[in-house]
Structure 1
Amino acid sequence: MGVLIVIPARYASSRYPGKPLVELTGATGEARSLIERSWQAACAVEGADRVVVATDDDRIRAVAEGFGAEVVMTSEDCRNGTERCAEALDALGGGYDIVVNLQGDAPLTPPWFVEELIAGMRADAGADVATPVLVCDGKAHRSFLEDRAQGRVGGTTAVFTRDRHALYFSKEVVPYTGTIYADDQPTPVYHHVGVYAYRPEALRAYPALETGPLEQLEGLEQLRFMENGHTVLCVEVEARGRQFWELNNPEDVDRIEDMMQAMGLA
């Protein structure tokens, strides 16, 4: 029994078609595709037994195999990354006690985010799913508010109970604070990091779960678990000086490249 990391990637993104193949230039001036950078992030995780890219697109498959990734082809019917991970798990035949979904739009995910997620999952036997959350500083909080003011759907925020079980996830900035914070000042807002760890039985059950109104309104796949009574654990992680952002919109390319330059990431 071990840990499988699946990187779901689709070409036909509604907000950014072809996103997995967009090239990002790092601090050394070398450009690599988003899917390659996400795969490199997954391979840096200690304790992962296998890393695969799951896609329905031959263009993504060709690029991924070109840089050495193992690829699992999935159907075009998958409605989100969790369904694609479930299909990939079935194709691989199981044999894992934890399946991690490292979404292909999060190339800045530090390995310890995933390592702490796996540890949190193993420490909480009642959790069906686990996902990392990162406290926003003032600078990140303003980025969220600016995206919403410009009508862009940017990052996702999370609220949870004292025992870290999720209450809600939203593309709005929640909770509302009405406060402007200094750049390095912690805020009460938590950035949801787009990584999930699942119990295999919960993942296999997911595609057949009823899609509820919250998932449909927010477009957040994790809400399907919550609307059907599953427990989602929020694992708080620390940035350790690293900046983090997902690539959701074309405008995020420059933002992520600037972060890579600032952090010296190749």
Structure 2
Amino acid sequence: MAQDTEQPRVLIVIPARYASTRYPGKPLAELTGADGVARSLVRRTWEAACQVEVEVEGAARIVVATDDDRIATACAEFGAEVVMTPESCANGTERCAAALAALGGQYDLVVNLQGDAPLTPPWFIEDLIAGMLRDGDAEVATPVLRADGAALNGFLEDRRNGRVGGTTAVFDRSMAALYFSKEVIPFTSERFDDAAPTPVFHHVGVYAYRPSALEDYLGWSSGPLEDLEGLEQLRFLENGARLLCVQVDARGRQFWELNNPEDIPRIEAMMARMGMS
């Protein structure tokens, strides 16, 4: 990666779309913390990004990228910088590319902190940036978290009830991604205690891209795997890009994405147990 200093110039983008197919208005859905105060999903995600800004030198700019005036207004009220992006952006990766272009493109790495993961700890993003700096061949990187028995059982319960829950990932010995799926992969018939480690890795919906990877992405059409799974990162794999999986440590923190309205009480319960306001 071409740069003149050791510290990268990092842009953190929070894509926020109102017209979600599964959960319209999701960025403005409110989560109540352990202190009893409700804050919107997009605000909690922005607050998580602000912690990274303090702890990672070079992560100097955080923006919310949206195409919706309601989200833009809400973000302005709590002090976030907003970049308006086209309604035609099909996913968060395309919206990150649009935000980068709108801001002039003067960054070494672009981090996509998707707005449905308010429990993302700051060190996940720090480790992601560090992984990209170590692996000069990686065009994209994303965190993976080894699922414990409780998380795996949650995935399986969602499937049994017809819900789309978390995404799982498999990768090779060099940590290059092989596949991502909304099904639970790899298959295991073994059952695990809640605290036991499992062979299943939970994909954390955060990405770091080199700007050239975003440019390439816009030039590719979606492929059959992306269309079937509804997972934007599969476009990179279908076109032979190296996507690095960076294993992260939860350090006792619980993690879950907000994919469905039913996830709100689950996440609020996690926040209460962890004492997160």
TM-score interval, normalised by the smaller of the two chains: over 0.9
Q: Can you list the C-alpha shifts for 1:33-63, whole angstroms capped at 9, x where unaligned?
A: 0000000011111221100000000000000
Q: After TM superposition, give the deviation of residue 207 of structure 1 in Å.
A: 1.6
Query: In structure 1, what is the equivalent of residue 26 of structure 2?
Result: 19
% same residue? 71
Residue 39 of structure 1, aligned match among 23, 26, 46: 46
Q: Where in structure 2 are the equivalents of 1:182-197 lying within 5 Å?
A: 182-197=193-208
Q: CA RMSD in A?
A: 0.6
Secondary structure of the structure 2 residue equivalent to 1:44: helix
1:6 aligns with 2:13: yes
Query: In structure 2, what is the equivalent of residue 129 of structure 1?
Result: 140
What one-letter code is carried by the residue in structure 2 that aligns with 1:50? R
Q: Where in structure 2 are the equivalents of 1:66-81 lying within 5 Å?
A: 66-81=77-92
Number of residue pairs matched by the alignment: 266
Which deviates the most, 110-119 or 38-47? Answer: 38-47
Secondary structure of the structure 2 residue equivalent to 1:148: helix
Query: In structure 2, what is the equivalent of residue 89 of structure 1?
Result: 100
Q: After TM superposition, give the deviation of residue 205 of structure 1 in Å.
A: 2.0
Stretches of 4+ aligned residues off by more than 4 angstroms? none
Query: In structure 2, what is the equivalent of residue 152 of structure 1?
Result: 163
* Distance in 1 separating the partners of 2:106 and 2:46: 21
Residue 75 of structure 2, aligned match among 60, 64, 68: 64
Unaligned runs of 5+ in 1: none
1:165 aligns with 2:172: no
Query: In structure 1, what is the equivalent of residue 4 of structure 2?
Result: none
Unaligned runs of 5+ in 2: 1-7
* Distance in 2 separating the partners of 1:207 and 1:13: 21
1:234 aligns with 2:245: yes
* Distance in 1 separating the partners of 2:147 and 2:76: 36
Residue 111 of structure 1, aligned match among 122, 136, 152: 122
What one-letter code is carried by the residue in structure 2 that aligns with 1:29? G
Residue 204 of structure 1, aligned match among 187, 193, 215: 215
Q: Can you list the C-alpha shifts for 1:74-101, whole angstroms capped at 9, x where unaligned?
A: 0110000000000000000011110000
What one-letter code is carried by the residue in structure 2 that aligns with 1:146? E
* Distance in 1 separating the partners of 2:92 and 2:204: 14
What one-letter code is carried by the residue in structure 1 that aligns with 2:68? D
Checking the alignment, whether the CA contact within 8 Å between 1:210 and 1:228 is kept in structure 2 is no
Q: Can you list the C-alpha shifts for 1:160-214, whole angstroms capped at 9, x where unaligned?
A: 0011000000000000001110010000000000000000111122122121100
Q: After TM superposition, give the deviation of residue 124 of structure 1 in Å.
A: 0.3
Residue 256 of structure 2, aligned match among 245, 248, 259: 245
Secondary structure of the structure 1 residue equivalent to 2:115: coil
Q: After TM superposition, give the deviation of residue 154 of structure 1 in Å.
A: 0.6
* Distance in 1 separating the partners of 2:44 and 2:272: 14
Q: Tell me the TM-score normalized by structure 2.
A: 0.95
* Distance in 2 separating the partners of 1:168 and 1:193: 14
* Distance in 1 separating the partners of 2:68 and 2:217: 22
Secondary structure of the structure 2 residue equivalent to 1:52: strand
Residue 214 of structure 1, aligned match among 213, 225, 240: 225
